[in-house]
Amino acid sequence: MLESGGTTLYIDPLQNVDPIAPFVGKPKFPVLPVPFPEAGIANVLITHIHADHFDQLLLTQLLANKGVLWGPEPVRQSALNYGFRASIAKLYNTFYVGDFKITPVPAVDWVGEDQVSYVITDGVHTIFHGGDTNWHGYWWTIAERFGPFDAAFLPVNGVVGALPGQDIISDMSGTMNPAQAVTATRILKAGYLVPIHYAQFDNPPGYTEFPSLDTELNEAALKQNITIRRLKDGDII
């Protein structure tokens, strides 16, 4: 949840986890209630269509007061089907939401769904939000065009598994692992890494989080001289 001036912006907000429990398991700690704006309209960025990023029940509430949702075409179409106000987030097509300037940039999904990451600035601070992208080669282009960043919010859980209905479990991680997130932070020239998309779900064998995650994250950060800012649910920076 980002706030600047009178604008409130959400990225992949998640509240209702029961629908995804058969895949990712029950949460290992309680889900923080998503705070609603104290005033004004809630607008939402979605990185991709997966149910742990597209919480239809929550979005129905957040977008009730004339809010707008942005996302790749499958996200936009699904949002329209639910009666939400929705616009497409096309790669490198910059748009504005109140005080925020937003540019969708490339991401790579573990099963090939359309997915984007977001570069977001309010003219004072600029952040990169990776959703749950896997490692890719666009970091250098993104850094050159939009960096440096004050912070990079990047997935670190390096999940291994398979989507429901698939019988092949890949040994390759479906999201970035700790060392990859630290390396991407360094390439992006970000002031610090905020690890995201980890710790709350682990459901082997279909959804298995990276082992010794915190140790690997600390070691990679020390080796590459990257600052990590771990945020608990509800923490504010």
137: domain CATH number? 3.60.15.10
- Per-residue pLDDT band at 189 (split at 50, 70, 90): very high
Q: Looking at the domain assignment, is residue 234 inside a domain? A: no
Q: pLDDT tens digits for 122-138?
A: 999 999 999 999 999 99
Task: Specify the pLDDT at position 146.
Answer: 97
Tell me how many domains the chain contains: 1
List the single range of 28-42, 101-115, 126-140 with lowest mean pLDDT: 28-42
Domain membership flag for residue 236: no
pLDDT of 20 above 80: yes
Q: How confident is the model at residue 171 (pLDDT cuts 50, 70, 90)?
A: confident
- Dist CA 31 CA 186 (whole Å): 31
Q: Residues of the chain with pLDDT > 90: what percent?
A: 85
Q: Is residue 233 part of a domain?
A: no
- pLDDT exceeds cutoff 90 at 39: no
Domain membership of residue 78 (yes or no) is: yes
Residue 230 lies in a domain: no
pLDDT surpasses 80 at 167: no
- State the pLDDT confidence band at 169, using cuts at 50, 70 and 90: confident
**Domain for residue 153, yes or no?**
yes
Q: Containing domain of residue 70, as a range? A: 2-224
pLDDT at 176 over 80: yes
In a domain, 31, yes or no: yes
Q: Are 196 and 228 in contact (CB under 8 A)?
A: no
